[in-house]
Chains A and B, each alone.
Chain A
Amino acid sequence: GQQLNQSPQSMFIQEGEDVSMNCTSSSIFNTWLWYKQDPGEGPVLLIALYKAGELTSNGRLTAQFGITRKDSFLNISASIPSDVGIYFCAGQSGGSNYKLTFGKGTLLTVNP
């Protein structure tokens, strides 16, 4: 089956630093989605990417859909303490199958 490799697994950074995380896939996806999950809550959609090469921003967040359709990255600029949480990438194959394949998550800790 499809596999997503998300890295890094965890990050410890100082407030104000920039962060980058990425996901790579063994197969092609038609859609990449990035979510943030706080403890005890459901994932919240941050950015959705629908086309290869697409670069999309949402405030301090920027994500790109890799040109090969097998990878995506998420950057967070000027991190703040509330950025703490687990970030998941998810890929969707498309067609009539809307199931998401999730990465294992990146745990972000921001030190004030």
Chain B
Amino acid sequence: GAVVSQHPSRVICKSGTSVKIECRSLDFQATTMFWYRQFPKQSLMLMATSNEGSKATYEQGVEKDKFLINHASLTLSTLTVTSAHPEDSSFYICSARDFRGATGNTIYFGEGSWLTVV
């Protein structure tokens, strides 16, 4: 299957600072990527849809000024958590749509990034 890679896998930052998480599609181009947040023992919560060359579409309740998304190329989307607070500590996961093949609807996920804000 297609490969999606996230970096860093783990990051610790101080409260009030910003941290950037990268999501790359390694063997395919992704015009659409998605960012999720997952709390322990819960399902994935979609934060936003990242669209190459245009603004991200945020889900209701997600602060776009706090979670900045940039999708500047067909293989890279970044999520920047600005002015991080301890409550932003979570597991962040990205996914990318592989448009190749008969349906072009298969979604592959990255390995996830653990963010701890201290």
Binding site for B on A (CB under 8 A): 30-31, 33, 35, 40-45, 48, 50, 88, 90, 92, 94, 98-100, 102-105
Contact = CB atoms under 8 A, between A and B. Distances in A.
B105 A31 contact: yes
Contact of B107 (A50, A94, A98, A105): A98
Given A40-B114, A42-B112, A33 B107 contact: yes
A34 to B, nearest CB: 12
A45 B111 contact: no
16 contacts: A30-B105, A33-B106, A40-B91, A40-B114, A42-B95, A42-B109, A42-B112, A44-B109, A45-B1, A50-B105, A94-B105, A99-B34, A100-B34, A100-B46, A100-B107, A102-B43
A104 B42 CA distance: 7
B111 A41 contact: yes
Interface in B1-24: 1, 4, 6
Contacts of A88: 43-44
A43 B109 contact: yes
Interface of B: 1, 4, 6, 32, 34, 42-44, 46, 49, 91, 93, 95, 97, 102-103, 105-112, 114
Q: Which of B42, B91, B93, B109 has the most CB of A within 10 A?
A: B109
A90 B34 CA distance: 14
Contacts of A102: 43-44
A108 B103 CA distance: 30
Sorted nearest first, the 9 A-B pairs with minimum C-beta distance are: A42-B109, A42-B112, A43-B109, A42-B111, A102-B43, A50-B103, A31-B105, A104-B43, A42-B93
Nearest to B111: A42
Given A43-B44, A98-B32, A99-B49, 12 more contacts: A35-B109, A40-B114, A42-B6, A42-B93, A42-B109, A43-B109, A45-B106, A50-B102, A50-B105, A99-B46, A100-B34, A105-B43
